[in-house]
Amino acid sequence: MHIDWYAVQAKNASTVNQQLAFLEQSPYEPIDAKDLEIAKDMMEQEMEYVKRGMNYGDLPLGAYSQVWEECLGQVLFLPNQHRYTRANLATQNLIKHLKELYEQADQANLELNTFKFLQEQERVAAPKRIQGLTEDVNRQTEREKSLQQKYSILQEQINEIQEAHAQQIPTTAICGGDC
């Protein structure tokens, strides 16, 4: 494994420069001793409250701090819910949510692949169907032309028969059929 020492130093220098620039824009505000004393009293009250609530009794500050750090390491603040929860519960919920998202992604991917497959099938089949329909239309057009011609011929024959029949009727009516 190769580490570019110069790149690391340049990155660290960049980070330091950013931090210094931030401190110049937002300098530390001096904290009044009175405010520190109030904060210390609040912390002691909190410690007493937790000791009573957990029945710790009189723990030395070191032991209390160790227990506090261990507990703090096992909890997680959820900003969207504005509360603390045990980290393992949050992890389980996140894992469950992540699994659901993976399943949704898999389902969406399956649907996408199915539609792509259908699109390809349609792309291949469409010209064949168009050709088949065009052939059907052409056959139907030829058939209709043929039938129209046949109809025209038959219509002419009907007209000829009617004319011949019309010519025979007057003669028969005048002669009485003996002409």
pLDDT in tens, 71-128: 777 887 778 888 888 888 888 888 999 999 999 999 999 999 999 999 999 999 999 9
Distance (Å, rounded) from C-alpha 133 to C-alpha 139? 10
Q: Which tens digit of pLDDT belongs to each residue from 56-67?
A: 666 677 877 787
User: Are the CB atoms for 76 and 86 separated by under 8 Å?
Assistant: yes
**pLDDT band at 10, cuts 50/70/90?**
low
And the tokens for 133? Answer: 């329909």
User: Are the CB atoms for 41 and 49 separated by under 8 Å?
Assistant: no
pTM for the model stands at 0.39
